[in-house]
């Protein structure tokens, strides 16, 4: 029942914090968030699962009981963790605690509602990564949208309502498209499945049990191969909006710029990983033949996202927009690793989810600390912050170099695995060319991050402000320094996570013909 505890504690805590006095809300929320953090770390240390949860692997911390029946399909409460989902759960609890800590300075209004929504979102995110029944998973998937909508719409910037509505509409429509695509597969499986359990459906699809889907009232039917390809495209589009990749990325910069810093940390660090996690679980695990058929256009989308996202970041003058567009670029690497269908490609893509979550969370948190002190995020208005805020500036430099792939940091290990896997792919035609094009993105990343650092951190201090720009509060420094430590730890010892991740992805990549 450990997974249930990770969900129940922040859920109950959210209700308690929401009615607590504002002056106690921040510390109460931090204390509540520490419980699932400690619990997830214990689960990581005691993890004894093996293989992939959807493909017959040994699932850890599993709970199963009958829930309800919808026609011929049983809907069960089924949760459990494997080497893919457990690291994402740990990252969720870590970033939630640190985000709450970083919110102590900027959030000075309606604190109890803010922290209550943060805890509610944590519970829903854990559910997304732990659920092994589709309808249960979908409930958690949609539940995540609610707190993020209010976090942006209530505590955001001047255009917060526009950004919140755009975020909600984009992701909700994408969920509908994905939902239709998935249930087309379920109906096409017919009597081969008797529940909405993800393992049962995944194994039936991999066994080739998908049949034609009859169209009621027409006497016609959609052939199995057309149905599978259409469902793959529908699910890919639905999840691609959440990632997001080009051309479905336009909601992301608006949401990041208007969101308060703690919400931006969770959005970039965890919510975007919902999309890549779902792509791995649904598209690339359940429908590998269709993924191979569409390998070239998928790889093209990945490379365009890497390059175009980096170029858009290069054109920005707002530090938050720079980091936001860099997330589009980084998620392109994940897609490239997945479509490579190789041991290092898929394993590296999974590792990149964690690496990017920590690095992007660090950069957004550091930009927030700068904004708390200067009340501006415009690169052209800043200069000489390294003299006034030396620790924060040093952390920003460390985060920027981690994004560039500096050796001994998590970003380097993740991108190295992806490039090795993509270059050696036997599924992707012209794999070396796609890999080389994606590697060029690192050059652009270095360009815009070095430019931003040079303009904002170094030179004479010239910011005209009535605020006293000095060293950041201890709680802000503690949060960002902790993230730097985790990034260096995973960069120097990637096997802490990569081994369990690769063990869970090896069954997914068997069609690629490459084993360790």
Closest CA to 40 of 79, 16, 6, 83: 6
Residue 446 pairs in a beta bridge with none
| Token digits of residue 17 | 């914090």
pLDDT for res 318: 87
**Number of Cβ atoms within 10 Å of the Cβ of 453:** 18
What pLDDT does residue 512 have?
58
Q: What is the largest CA-CA distance in the chain?
A: 76
SS3 at position 513: coil
In a domain, 362, yes or no: yes
Residues contacting 153, CB < 8 A, separation 6+: 160, 161, 163, 164, 165
- Could you give the CA distance from residue 475 to residue 460 in angstroms, rounded to a whole number? 27
- For residues 37 and 51, what is the distance between their CA atoms, to the nearest angstrom? 24
Instruction: Judge whether 52 lies within some domain.
Output: no
Instruction: Return the beta strands (E) in 195-321 as ranges.
Output: 213-214, 221-222
Task: Give DSSP secondary structure letters for 30-54.
Answer: HHHHHHHHHHHHHHHHT---BS-TT
| 335 within domain boundaries | yes
Q: What is the DSSP letter of 270?
A: I
- In the chain, which stretches have pLDDT less than 70? 464-468, 511-516
pLDDT, position 383: 79
Structural domain of residue 432, as residue ranges? Answer: 294-516
CA dist 43 and 106 (Å) reads 33
φ, ψ of residue 62 to 5 degrees: the values are: -85, 140
Does 488 map to a domain? yes
- On whether residue 469 sits in a domain, the answer given is yes
Of 415, 411, 433, 421, nearest to 509 by C-alpha is 421
Rounded to the nearest 5°, which phi and psi values hold at 213?
-110, 115
**What b/e string do you get for 59-95 counting C-beta neighbours within 10 Å, with b at 16 or more?**
bbbbbeeeeeeeeebbbbebbbbbbbbbbbbbbbbbb
Alpha carbon distance 18, 208 (integer Å): 49
Q: Tell me the helix, strand and coil percentages in the chain, rounded to 5.
A: 70, 5, 20
131 close to 137: Cβ distance less than 8 angstroms: yes
Which tokens go with 413? 């290990």
Burial class (CB in 10 A: 0-12, 13-18, 19+), 411: buried
State both tokens at 359: 């690095």
Under 8 Å between Cβ of 17 and 112 = yes
Neighbours of 215 (CB within 10 A): 10
Provide the domain count of the chain. Answer: 1
**Alpha-carbon gap, residue 205 to 187, rounded angstroms:** 12
Distances, alpha carbon 26 to alpha carbons 122, 148, 269, in Å = 15, 18, 21
Q: Which residue has the tokens 């997830």?
A: 40
Could you please report the per-residue DSSP string of 355-411? HHHHHHHHHHHHHHHHHHHHS--BGGG---HHHHSHHHHHHHHHHHHHHHT-TTSHH
- At 370-383, the pLDDT tens digits run 988 888 888 877 87
Q: For residue 220, tell me if it sits in a domain.
A: no
What SS3 class is residue 136? helix
Please give the torsion angle defined by the CA atoms of residues 244, 264, 133 and 18, in that order, rounded to the nearest 10 degrees.
-150
Q: Is the peptide bond before 136 cis (omega within 30 degrees of 0)?
A: no
Q: Is there a domain that residue 135 lies in?
A: no
Residue 271 lies in a domain: no
How far apart CA 360 and CA 351 sit, in angstroms, is 14
- Cα distances from 442 to residues 349, 415, 516, in angstroms, run 16, 10, 27
d(CA 130, CA 289): 26
Distance between CA atoms of 174 and 306, rounded to whole angstroms?
Answer: 22
């Amino acid at each position: 029942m450990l997974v249930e505890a990770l969900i129940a504690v922040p859920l109950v805590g959210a209700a308690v914090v929401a009615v607590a006095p504002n002056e106690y809300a921040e510390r109460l929320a931090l204390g509540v968030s520490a419980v699932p953090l400690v619990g997830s770390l214990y689960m990581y240390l005691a993890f004894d699962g093996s293989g992939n949860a959807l493909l017959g692997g040994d699932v850890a911390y599993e709970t199963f009981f009958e829930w309800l029946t919808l026609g011929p399909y049983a809907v069960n409460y089924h949760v459990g963790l494997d080497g893919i989902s457990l690291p994402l759960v740990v990252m969720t609890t870590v970033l939630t605690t640190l985000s709450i800590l970083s919110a102590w300075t900027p959030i000075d209004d309606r604190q109890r509602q803010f922290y209550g929504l943060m805890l509610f979102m944590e519970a829903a995110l854990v559910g997304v990564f732990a659920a092994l029944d589709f309808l249960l998973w979908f409930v958690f998937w949609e539940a995540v949208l609610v707190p993020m909508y209010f976090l942006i719409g209530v505590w955001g910037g001047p255009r917060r309502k526009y950004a919140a509505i755009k975020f909600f509409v984009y992701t909700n429509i994408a969920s509908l498209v994905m939902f239709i695509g998935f249930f087309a597969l379920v109906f096409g499986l017919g009597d081969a499945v008797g529940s909405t359990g993800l393992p049962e459906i995944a194994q039936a699809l991999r066994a080739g049990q998908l049949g034609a889907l009859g169209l009621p009232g027409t006497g016609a039917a959609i052939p199995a191969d057309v149905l599978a390809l259409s469902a793959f495209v529908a699910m890919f589009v639905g999840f691609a909006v959440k990632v997001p990749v080009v051309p479905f990325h336009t909601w992301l910069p608006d949401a990041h710029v208007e969101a308060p810093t703690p919400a931006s940390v969770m959005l970039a660090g965890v919510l975007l990983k919902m999309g890549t996690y779902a792509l791995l679980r649904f598209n690339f695990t359940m429908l590998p033949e269709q993924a191979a058929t569409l390998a070239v256009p998928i790889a093209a989308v990945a490379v365009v996202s890497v390059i175009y996202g980096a170029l858009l970041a290069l054109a920005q003058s707002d530090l938050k927009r720079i980091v936001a567009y860099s997330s589009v670029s980084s998620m392109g690497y994940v897609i490239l690793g997945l479509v490579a269908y190789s041991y290092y490609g898929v394993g590296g893509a999974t590792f990149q989810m964690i690496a990017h979550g920590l690095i992007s969370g660090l950069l957004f948190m550091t930009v927030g600390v700068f904004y708390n002190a200067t009340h501006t995020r415009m690169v052209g208005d800043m200069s000489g912050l390294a003299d006034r805020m030396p620790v924060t500036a040093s952390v920003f430099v460390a985060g920027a170099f981690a994004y560039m792939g500096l050796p001994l940091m998590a970003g380097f290990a993740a991108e190295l695995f992806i490039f090795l896997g993509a270059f050696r792919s036997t599924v992707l035609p012209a794999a070396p060319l796609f890999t080389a094009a994606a590697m060029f993105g690192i050059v652009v990343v270095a360009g815009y991050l070095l430019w931003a650092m040079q303009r904002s951190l170094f030179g004479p201090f010239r910011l005209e402000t009535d605020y006293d720009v000095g060293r950041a509060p201890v709680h802000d420094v503690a949060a960002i320094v902790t993230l730097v430590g985790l990034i260096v730890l995973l960069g120097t010892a990637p096997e802490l996570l990569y081994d369990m991740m690769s063990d869970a992805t090896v069954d997914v990549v068997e069609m690629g013909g490459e084993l360790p």
